[in-house]
Structure 1
């Protein structure tokens, strides 16, 4: 059963862990904007700098910095000023111990109540959202939440460096198969902020003149499917992890 959710927060801190710049903005920027508007502190952990993306003749060596700058501008559009990049190679992310450790470190440092990340499952109904990097980051983030970030004996070098264990209360998975989705967030009042965030990713969205209409149609369908006709919504698979 899907639970509709408004923008009232009731928690203090949230961390978004994604594979590429722009992932959060396509999947969850409206939800993030609703949370920051309610006083929640949100941070981003981006595992790559999107160096394999782009649709123009920008020199490849300039792409990582460009996409980092775009993500920071997009984050600012929804009230986020803490954006961290882990520097993994775009298109080659695997859910190994190194990635688990690096995400666990950010969790222990940022100390979020909620984490948004990619579903580690394949969404066969909409395969493009199940990019291998997305699934790898989702799998590694899940392991970082449980057990790594909360276990003092996992990655002892983190504890030695002063990163104390931390337990995340909830995991919010984006891009999940439809039968997993159990939470829909009404983002109608934050639609313009989401569009502003997406527009900041000029290297990825400037060639899409119908982007706003496309996003609106998708969000309207999502809201309709989850009992909010006439509204706009983003949907997640929410798992209690405490």
Structure 2
């Protein structure tokens, strides 16, 4: 098991594709912070505005603006400034051709060497991570990486926009079933950045009594499972997609 923050030192641009604001911060913010510190350019692509989120009586019409602002603040906490929203409806995401095309568009714009997204599989050991939107985005992102983004004949309207084919080298999937995990990242030195990112999502985390303790315990258990007892880690299923 490798514990390096990078599976390939050649990756200098990364794209994170998630379903909702805060998904990247629960799953990958420490890893992202480590990449940014190493000079990797990171872009976030959030497929919804999180309009079905929240835990209080905030007017529904206000929630998309609130959550987009929270995600931009969370991104800034780990050094990411490029945050894009696709505008799909929270809770109703499907892995259709439109979503595949929209993610392909972002891939061709950003031209990342590495993509992080959700696993399209159900994690039966921890079902809350397998939200239907997560799995749909994971499936659509996988299809956008292969074959869509690299195939000039896929989504021909993108060529008309001047977006040339691009091949992504690595796909990192969070929330994968444990038996799929093959890469763990030691984020001990970036825990404060991850916590700051999560704390920025006040509409989602302010009601939690011990956010810091909850996250630290989860990361410590992950590290211990992957041979890094006493450290904090995030874990992924990494696939060579070149």
Structure-1 residue corresponding to 2:14 = 14
- Could you tell me the TM-score, scaled by structure 1's length? 0.98
CA contact 2:5–2:35 (8 Å) conserved in 1: no
SS at match of 2:217: helix
Per-residue CA distance 1:8-55 (angstroms, 9 max, x = gap): 972210000000000000000000000000000000000000000101
Structure-2 residue corresponding to 1:103 = 103
Q: For this pair of structures, how many residues does the alignment match? A: 241
Structure-1 residue corresponding to 2:133 = 133
Q: CA deviation at 1:174?
A: 0.2
Q: Which runs of 5+ in 2 are unaligned?
A: none
Q: Which aligned segments of 4 or more residues in structure 1 are displaced greater than 3 angstroms?
A: 6-9
CA contact 2:124–2:177 (8 Å) conserved in 1: yes
Q: CA deviation at 1:160?
A: 1.0
**Match status 1:152 vs 2:123:** no
Per mean C-alpha deviation after superposition, the further-off stretch among 186-195 and 6-15 is 6-15
Per-residue CA distance 1:141-195 (angstroms, 9 max, x = gap): 0000000000000000001110110000000000000000000000000000000
**Aligned ranges 1:18-29 → 2 under 5 Å:** 18-29=18-29
**Aligned ranges 1:1-242 → 2 under 5 Å:** 2-6=1-5, 10=9, 11-242=11-242
Once residues 133 and 197 of structure 1 are traced to their aligned partners in structure 2, the CA distance between those partners, rounded to angstroms, is 21
- Could you tell me the TM-score, scaled by structure 2's length? 0.98
